[in-house]
Amino acid sequence: MQPFLDECRAVVGDAHVLTDPQAMAGFLTDWTGRWTGHAEAVIRPRTTDEVAAVMRICSSGDVDVCVQGGNTGLVGGSVPPSAAATGRPAVLLSTTRMTDIDDIDTVGRCVGVQAGATIDAIDTHAARSGLMFPIDLASRESATAGGVVATNAGGTRMIRHGNTRAQVLGIEAVLADGRLLRRWSSLVKDNVGYDVPGLLAGSEGTLAVITRVLFALASPPPATTVTVVAIDHVETALDLIGLLRSAGLTIEAAEIMTQAGVDLVHEHGQRRPVSTSAPFYALIEVSGVGEVESEMIDVLERADGIVDAVLEPGPARALWAARENHTEAISRSTTTPVVKLDVSFPLRALPEAFGELSAIEGLVGHPCRAILFGHVGDGNIHVNLLDVPPERTEEITARVFAVVAVNGGSISAEHGIGRAKTAWTHLGRSEVDRTTMRAIKTTLDPQGLLNPGVLFG
């Protein structure tokens, strides 16, 4: 590998080709701790030209490339496979030095960013021009532009603005052979052929290395109010969303937590959002043009099934913390790598699905804890199974996906397939659909260098 590494060093500089195992360790294990991979080096380019040069070197040397942004992905796609998996050498290409953010186009309401810019940095930059980045997730300080596009992230504002694909106006990406693909226009109406930027959204590093993205921006909402309601049934949350909409309020976010989840974050130092205990808690943020708070109180008084409620003007960070600290508290509390399954259901099937998924913890022959939470307005449940012995992971995953299949849901709502779910893509995609996806992959990456083992297994 020495000549190969020397070529890479000549492109990005000695300091940015890491080969020391200690320096590489943090890059090679994913956020969940469930996947650790092997790479000959971690390569950290600064520019698109450097990415293109590195890809040309990898292509001619037949070296696999795993692309990594903030390494907050939860399905194992951001780390390479183990050494034996492909029989070819692999490198990890990290975008963490590609953090440029252009000036905001306040008329076109968009911004161009490099792939390694974090969601928090993009939003902070947009806020200086009175705008906001419509994608928001609890991993905002690490998750990158390239990562949210590659996973087509949803997040807490999805119910209001749509997923990441909906925010992508233009894209610049380097193909596996080093060629540059650039479609960069702030036109919101532009129907010349296939939606290639849209195709790269959700491609999980298997089609190209995204180097820059032109994102649409949004206006921040006027006054917002956040409520957390303690409720006995999931239906109550769905009914409440309907009532708030009928009252003319705009739903900015609609989340759900369970008693077990709120208890867990409380054990990790977070104050309870509502003092009364209940099986479920819904956090709903609304905006509107009038007296938003009094309109929300009016709706809460009319709604059935609310056990207790608190209300705060937005951004209500303390209320949000109870929801956003779930992922962190779960990973600190589990005794084995947490089995994280991010699934979605038609809204009508959501209450039934919650019941069936809660019962999963009793179905394997080893005690495990199920913590469910998620984006209730989108029908998206994050199923977290703690203390699952690693040898039972496949079995318990199959049980969760059986619930998904029976209720007409999806095995991946917003995290992608990664390495975690490749064996189950047939549950959501037909043979013809999967063959079409494979044909696209082969066309763009005939050597199969980009993220082998991700999405296709």
Ligand X SMILES: Cc1cc2nc3c(=O)[nH]c(=O)nc-3n(C[C@H](O)[C@H](O)[C@H](O)COP(=O)(O)OP(=O)(O)OC[C@H]3O[C@@H](n4cnc5c(N)ncnc54)[C@H](O)[C@@H]3O)c2cc1C
273 binds ligand X (CB under 6 A): no
- Tell me, residue by residue from 320 to 349, as one string, x for binding to ligand X by CB under 6 A and - for no binding: -------x----------------------
Strand bridging mode 41-43 / 90-94: parallel
The least CB distance from residue 159 to ligand X, in Å, is 12
**Is 89 a residue that touches ligand X (CB under 6 A)?**
no
Instruction: Count how many residues are written for the chain.
Output: 457
Q: Judged by CB, which is closer to ligand X: 54, or 296? A: 54
- Under the criterion CB under 6 A, does residue 148 sit at the interface with ligand X? yes
Specify the 3-state DSSP secondary structure of 438: helix
Q: Structure tokens of 423?
A: 């064996």
Which one among 322, 400, 451, 452 touches ligand X, defined by CB under 6 A? 451
Closer to ligand X by CB, 299 or 334: give it.
334
**Binding segment for ligand X among 204-212, 231-239, 277-285, 421-429 (CB under 6 A)?**
204-212
- Interface with ligand X (CB under 6 A), residue total 38
Closest CB 50 distance from ligand X, rounded Å: 13
Q: Within positions 16 to 75, which residues make up the interface with ligand X, using CB under 6 A?
A: 31, 67-74
Instruction: Check binding of 209 to ligand X (CB under 6 A).
Output: yes
Cβ(277)–Cβ(259) under 8 Å?
Answer: yes
171 scored as a contact of ligand X (CB under 6 A): no
Question: Are the CB atoms for 118 and 140 separated by under 8 Å?
Answer: yes
Question: Which ranges constitute the DSSP H helices of 152-291?
Answer: 158-161, 196-200, 234-246, 259-267
Instruction: Output the six-digit token pair for 396.
Output: 């318990």
Q: How far is the CB of 249 from ligand X (least distance, A)?
A: 22
Cβ atoms 136, 215 nearer than 8 A? no
Rounded to whole angstroms, the Cα distance separating 322 from 228 reads: 10
The reply on whether position 138 binds ligand X by CB under 6 A is: yes
Asked if 92 contacts 83 with a C-beta cutoff of 8 angstroms, the reply is no
| Span interacting with ligand X, options 215-223, 365-373, 389-397, 411-419, rule CB under 6 A | 411-419
Judged by beta carbon, residue 165 or residue 399, the one nearer ligand X is 165
Contacts of 301 (CB under 8 A, 6+ apart): none
Q: Residue 115 interacts with ligand X (CB under 6 A)? A: yes
Using DSSP's 3-state secondary structure scheme, residue 22 falls into helix
* Of 201-209, 345-353, 399-407, 420-428: span binding ligand X (CB under 6 A): 201-209
What residue number has its CB nearest to ligand X? 147
8 A C-beta contact, residue 385 and residue 420 = no
- For the beta carbon of residue 294, count every other beta carbon within 10 angstroms: 10
CA distance 51 to 8: 10
User: Which pair of structure tokens corresponds to residue 173?
Assistant: 């990406």
Contacting positions for ligand X (CB under 6 A):
31, 67-74, 77-78, 95, 115, 137-139, 142-144, 146-148, 150-151, 153-156, 204-205, 209-210, 327, 414-415, 418, 451, 454
